[in-house]
Chain A
């Protein structure tokens, strides 16, 4: 029942992502006016528990969601199977988690 587990993980991560993506889109539209400035951004994110926790959750959910989505594409459009598909998926998950949490840490940790 692997595909069912992945389906559920995909949909649950989607439900978690929905409000976070809305927040992110709102933030981008708000912040883009007048251009982006590192000082402005980091001034708000550094030391913020709120931004740290919401974007960490965002990263975990997106790592799961994007990996499963990409896996579907590789399976259906490139016909990847077996160990190739399996190990690439884990690599993708690990890569997104690592790079994502590192990025959150970079902007949040004081």
Chain B
């Protein structure tokens, strides 16, 4: 990574963008799976059965992390752009990251 980018708030930006990209690439697949129920419960069930695989549960945990970090980072940005300026941006970004980990961990623990 270029030297000037090795600072926390660039990484926060990158994480926000990459998580958003990951989510938008996942969405069509997500919508497709849900629409399987148009063909009856069994179609959806056969997919959900496949999703019991541990690898899939880890992948789902990853998606939960992406959604949580994108939400929390996004809230930080909405605050940054609409509330009076705070110099604690690095702190907020760190809190967002830590919280997203816990959310994902919560999901992981309940998934297994």
Contact = CB atoms under 8 A, between A and B. Distances in A.
Direct interface between A and B, CB < 8 A = yes
Interface of A: 11, 14-15, 17-18, 21-22, 24-25, 28-29, 32-33, 35-39, 41-42, 62, 66, 69-70, 73, 95-96, 99-100, 102-104, 106-107
5 contacts: A25-B64, A28-B107, A33-B111, A66-B24, A106-B38
Contacts of B52: 35
Given A36-B48, A70-B24, A18 B31 contact: no
Interface string B53-97: 000000010001001100100110010011000000000000000
Given A21-B71, A42-B44, A66-B20, 5 more contacts: A32-B107, A38-B41, A41-B44, A70-B21, A107-B37
A54 B89 CA distance: 32
Interface in B19-63: 20-21, 23-24, 27-28, 30-32, 34-38, 41-42, 44-45, 48, 51-52, 60
A38 B78 CA distance: 36
Nearest to B103: A25
A41 B51 CA distance: 15
B8 interface: no
Contacts of A36: 48, 51
A18 B37 contact: no
B4 interface: no
B110 interface: yes
B48 A35 contact: yes
A14 B100 CA distance: 17
Contact of B107 (A18, A29, A38, A104): A29
Nearest to A45: B37
Given A21-B71, A33-B110, A15 B78 contact: yes
Contacts of B51: 36
Q: Which of B28, B71, B81, B106 has the most C-beta atoms of chain A within 10 angstroms of its own C-beta?
A: B71
Contacts of A69: 17, 20-21, 24
Given A42-B44, A66-B24, A69-B24, A14 B74 contact: yes
